[in-house]
Structure 1
Amino acid sequence: MKELKPIRNEKDYMSALAEISPFVDKEPKKGSKEADRFELLLMLIEAYEAKHYSIDPPDPVEAIKFRMEQAGLKPKDLQPMIGGLNRVYEILNRKRPLTLKMIWKLHSMLGIPADSLIKQDDELHPA
């Protein structure tokens, strides 16, 4: 068995993936040396992927529209979280930014992750 080492490049990453692949369908018995190695390899792979393949949160308006589609909501259904229907349309058409109160309500009432809602418009479309 090879010595475990940090994943520093794509070659190391591919090697770790190849080593872990047999365990994906059939995890080793808990408490075994194989299980410990599997867990350590998973941690190394996850750390490498987080650093090199991170996924940015979606655009706030797209996150809202996605949740609306998932839940079958119409713009009028957002009024308790955003305000009057005209304000809902301003948000959906990017004419007005979300306020902290709106973000909190959308998060707590619709379960939209807060980090998806707090991204500023200038972060999304740099000049």
Structure 2
Amino acid sequence: MTLTFNHVVYRDLIAEFSPKVIETEEEYDRALAVVEQLTFAKARSPEEGALHKLLVTLIEAYEAQHYPMDESQPYEILQHVMESTGTRQADLVGVIGSSEVVSEVINGKRSISKVQAKALGEYFKVSPSLFT
């Protein structure tokens, strides 16, 4: 059975939540609460899914303006992935090179090559693009 999008139901949801460009922390908190509720809904309707997508877009725009994130360097991402997975420097010896190469890569003294990025992606089971 394919669920169809009901514009009347969607209009009612829009009327209930009145989504608009988020300009204050209070509006941001309210949008986050609704998104959280919709995210964990057991059976989200297509209309609720559309509202969820709209609110996430508005939240992302607000966060980009008010909570900008600096772009991480590939070696910083590697450090984070290693820390979160409990990987030691010695574990990467042979994966991306000698212990000296591994140390230089992890400390940002040597850039990560495409071959090393691919090997790291396979090792950590993530996209190699994280490391480029």
- Shared topology, TM-score over 0.5? yes
Identity within the alignment, %: 17
SS of the equivalent of 2:72 reads: coil
1:88 to 80, 102, 107: 102
Q: Name the TM-score, length of structure 1 as normaliser.
A: 0.59
Shift of the 82–4 alpha-carbon distance from structure 1 to 2, 3 Å rule, reads same
**Counterpart in 2 of 1:18?**
30
**Displacement after TM superposition at 1:78 (Å):** 0.7
State how far apart, in whole Å, the 1-side matches of 2:35 and 2:110 are: 50
Alignment match, 2:61:
48
Equivalent positions of 1:80-119 (< 5 A) are: 80-118=94-132
Secondary structure of 1:81's aligned partner = coil
Q: How many residue pairs end up in the alignment? A: 115
Could you tell me how far 1:80 is from its partner in structure 2?
Answer: 2.5
Q: Give, in whole Å, the separation in 2 of the partners of 1:73 and 1:40.
A: 35
Aligned-pair Cα RMSD in Å: 3.7
User: Mean Cα displacement is larger for which, 23-32 or 95-104?
Assistant: 23-32
Relative contact order (C-alpha < 8 Å, sep 6+): which is higher? 1
In the alignment, residue 83 of structure 1 is paired with which amino acid? G
Q: 1:41 to 1:71 in 2, by over 3 A?
A: closer
Structure 1 residues 28, 78: CA separation in 2 closer, same or farther (over 3 Å shift)?
A: closer
- Give the gaps of 5 or more residues in structure 2: 1-14
Structure 1: state its 5+ residue gaps: 119-127
For the residues of structure 2 that align with 1:86 and 1:37, how far apart are their CA atoms? 51
